Structure 1
């Protein structure tokens, strides 16, 4: 019998997280609303510590429009909620053809509770060689349309 040791073929998330894309240089951003005290740049760019907050309640969209298609390996999202109990849902969609078509990457719900879980941090591993648009749709509370959406941090690798 011959024996061979095969390597681990799983993607190493830590190696993907070494250098995030410079969204300030590579992309334009569209956002459905923003609070003047918490602009979208606060979630997308390093050096901020207050995150983004919607200017109006209800569902919100954040859209990254890359000036040239970019390879995307991972999307990191961080959410904080320490005030109210709520169930948030978000959807990430990507386009590789400048918005002609979109592929849903993830749809996820999370329960926030000030007495328990106040933070959500997710790393979605993908392997897309040429992404032109990333859309993040946030429903801040699936049962209450009067809740404001927020996003502490979003990084693209």
Structure 2
């Protein structure tokens, strides 16, 4: 799915050197371009679709080459224009550089009539002042 062509992308903050556009630029895998929040703390990414979507699969990549931390992520969808959300998945990513620095998840989901998709991220469950990161987000869907 071409997210940039079918949705408005909103994010709570972004580092100017690592804008949200990097998540959708097809430069994936370890060392790929990535979004990094400008500020430490919880962050939200929202995709507001032009038309309701059917989402079959979500693929996420997260890389953290510098800080040992546990990033929590929640994937939710809205069917009512972003008024309410239903959580589909929750995942934790444990990073321990220089060893474990990259995580990739492919989730099969079945969500129809999706008007908004929300990713909520807590960069460190332990409370360290870290910045959230996301390397890529890929959605496989069929237009409704």
**Under a length normalisation based on structure 1, what TM-score does the superposition of the two structures give?**
0.82
Q: Whose RCO is larger (CA < 8 A, sep 6+)? A: 2
1:57 maps onto 2:37 in alignment: no
Q: CA RMSD in A?
A: 1.4
**Within 5 Å, which residues of 2 pair with 1:8-157?**
21-46=1-26, 49-157=32-140
Choose between structure 1 and 2: higher strand proportion.
2
Structure 1: unaligned runs, 5 residues or longer: 1-20
Structure 2: unaligned runs, 5 residues or longer: none
Alignment deviations for residues 121-148 of structure 1 (CA, whole Å, 9 cap, x no partner)? 0011111222110000111101124101
Q: Which has the larger Rg? A: 1
**Under a length normalisation based on structure 2, what TM-score does the superposition of the two structures give?**
0.89
Mapped contact 1:42–1:51 kept (Cα < 8 A): yes
Cα distance between partner residues in 2 of 1:128 and 1:54 = 28
